[in-house]
């Protein structure tokens, strides 16, 4: 006598037919994961770009103190250096103030991240250095 499964009605879907919602949920999860990874990567690159720009401004100020450069040459040098070392930097503008004992620089630029440009990011670096060291 053959065994017949009577616990399941004929209208109940079988295993292969009920996984449609899992596919949609999986696609949503992949999309959310992609956006989070994109955000993390862009934040990491932003931190890197800001640190590189700050180091470049510090180095240019130290070099300007030793070479006794004027405001115009230091300003153009800062803009050129930031464009050269910061990937994605655009619209770089530098302001330089030279006083008797202090040299100040402020560099502003718009940063374009790798990948989609979701939010405009403007970076401002302010640095100062003492021009003379007392004996």
- pLDDT at res. 67: 80
User: Is residue 4 a part of any domain in this protein?
Assistant: no
**63-78: pLDDT as tens digits:** 888 888 888 888 888 9
Torsion, CA 70, CA 72, CA 78, CA 79, rounded to 10: 180
Range of the domain at 80: 19-130
- Please count the residues of the chain: 135
User: Is residue 7 a part of any domain in this protein?
Assistant: no
pLDDT band at 126 (very low <50, low <70, confident <90, very high): very high
pLDDT band at 108 (very low <50, low <70, confident <90, very high): very high
CA distance linking residue 7 with residue 11, whole number of Å:
12
User: Is residue 12 a part of any domain in this protein?
Assistant: no
Q: How many domains does the chain have?
A: 1
- pLDDT at res. 7: 59
What's this model's pTM, rounded to 2 decimal places?
A: 0.70
Return the bridge partners of 91, or none: none
CA distance linking residue 30 with residue 39, whole number of Å:
14
> 49 versus 10: which is more confidently predicted?
49
């Amino acid at each position: 006598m053959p065994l017949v499964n009577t616990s399941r009605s004929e209208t109940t879907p079988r295993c292969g037919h009920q996984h449609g919602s899992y596919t949609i949920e999986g696609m949503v999860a992949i999309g959310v994961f992609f956006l989070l990874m994109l955000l993390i990567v862009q934040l990491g690159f932003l931190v890197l770009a800001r640190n590189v720009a700050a180091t470049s401004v510090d180095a240019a100020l130290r070099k300007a103190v030793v070479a006794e450069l004027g405001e115009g040459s230091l300003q153009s040098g800062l803009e050129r250096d930031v464009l050269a070392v910061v990937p994605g930097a655009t619209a770089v503008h530098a302001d330089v103030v030279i006083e008797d004992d202090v040299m100040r620089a402020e560099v502003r630029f718009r940063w374009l991240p790798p990948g989609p440009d979701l939010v405009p990011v403007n970076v401002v670096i302010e640095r100062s250095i003492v021009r003379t060291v007392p004996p």
